[in-house]
Amino acid sequence: MKRRELGLHYLQENPYHVKTFDQYPVSLTREDIFHFCQQIRRDIVLSTFSAGSGHPGGSLSATDMMGVLWTSFLNHKPALPSWEDRDYMIYSKGHVSPLIYSLYAETGYFDRTLLASFREFGSPLQGHPAKSKLDCVEVSTGSLGQGLSVAAGIAMGLKQDHKPNHVFALCGDGESQEGQIWEAIMSAAHYHLDNLTLFFDYNNLEIDGWVEDVMGIAPIKDKFEAFNWHTIVIDGHNTDDISKAIQTSLENKNRPTVIIGKTIKGKGVSFMENEADWHGKAPNEEQLNIALQDINREVDEWTH
């Protein structure tokens, strides 16, 4: 069986019947959020397996932060991607497209079986999110360092128009080695963009190895504070901490907020965790089955 056919088979065999809603956010239990995030993890490994390529490591590390945001805080309507009152979500590290597409699929933007077409020629699910291919993508991203500038620009425009929409962005720690990121950080603070919240996925690894070995960024909290950002440091896999941090960011006034999530690259898949090699490669079938077993084992442990 060809890889994509096999991927589709696995997608159909590994469903979690998550209820989708016409409008988000919705009120979910901790258990509901946990199961949602675990399904996103299944989707990430299944879509990258189907494609034979992709970026599972950083997708898995950001899953819990994005899972909480997408279900419990982000204003959006799957049937109306351009809804005027929506909040904006900009993925500065656009290579985490396996995560992005899984979030769309599991909240009802399209059928999750489309994930088997990830990175296929002509598919709307390209390796980096493309606005021209998929209406629900806010901005085509993937050139590292640029997404936060876009998010700050949107937030500035909304503020000037006196609109209540909030702008969220996700960037990586390796990405923060780009100078444009710091220009955007300086600009957002200067213009008092309290309608902007940045998730900083601090998993300590990039494609070439440990961040501090490649180009050190520590102490990241002190740097954001020096740039006059409201700074929150959390366990990026603790959904209660994530929820509290997002709520605090929405209540913050007069300056932007950064939520620095201390995360594990490849979180939830034993052989991917803290391994730079899994920044940008896909599992084979044997590895896929181990990954699914790891995810399902966590679900069983939670349930029992």
Name 115's Cβ contacts closer than 8 Å, sequence gap at least 6.
Answer: 7, 11, 43, 46, 47, 50, 101, 102, 105, 125
Confidence of residue 301 (pLDDT cuts 50, 70, 90): confident
Span 83-103, pLDDT tens digits: 999 999 999 999 999 999 999
Confidence of residue 227 (pLDDT cuts 50, 70, 90): very high
CATH of the domain spanning 3-303, picked from 3.40.50.970, 3.20.20.240, 3.10.20.30, 3.40.50.1100: 3.40.50.970
Span 139-187, pLDDT tens digits: 999 889 999 999 999 999 999 999 999 999 999 999 999 999 999 999 9
Q: Where are the domains of the chain?
A: 3-303
Confidence of residue 1 (pLDDT cuts 50, 70, 90): low
Confidence of residue 3 (pLDDT cuts 50, 70, 90): confident
- The CA dihedral of 274, 276, 281, 285, to the nearest 10 degrees, is -40
What local confidence, expressed as pLDDT, does residue 103 receive?
Answer: 98
11 has pLDDT over 80? yes
Q: Give the separation between CA 56 and CA 89, rounded to whole angstroms.
A: 20
195 has pLDDT over 60? yes
What local confidence, expressed as pLDDT, does residue 72 receive?
Answer: 98
What local confidence, expressed as pLDDT, does residue 114 receive?
Answer: 96
Judge contact between 88 and 154, C-beta under 8 A.
yes
φ, ψ of residue 265 in degrees (nearest 5):
-60, 130
Count of CB atoms situated within 10 Å of the CB of 247: 12
What local confidence, expressed as pLDDT, does residue 29 receive?
Answer: 94
Per-residue 3-state assignment (H helix, E strand, C coil) for the chain: CCHHHHHHHHHHHCCCCCCCCCCECCCCCHHHHHHHHHHHHHHHHHHHHHHCCCCHHHHHHCHHHHHHHHHHCCCECCCCCCCCCCCEEEECCCCCHHHHHHHHHHCCCCCHHHHHHCCCCCCCCCCCCCCCCCCCCCCCCCCCCCHHHHHHHHHHHHHHCCCCCCEEEEEECCHHHCHHHHHHHHHHHHCCCCCEEEEEEECCEECCEEHHHHHCCCCHHHHHHHCCCEEEEEECCCHHHHHHHHHHHHHCCCCCEEEEEECCCCCCCCCCCCCHHHHCCCCCHHHHHHHHHHHHHHHHHHHC
Query: How much is the pTM?
Result: 0.97
What local confidence, expressed as pLDDT, does residue 10 receive?
Answer: 87
Count of CB atoms situated within 10 Å of the CB of 289: 14
Span 249-297, pLDDT tens digits: 999 999 999 999 999 999 999 999 999 999 999 999 999 999 999 999 9
Span 107-147, pLDDT tens digits: 999 999 999 999 999 999 999 999 999 999 999 998 899 99
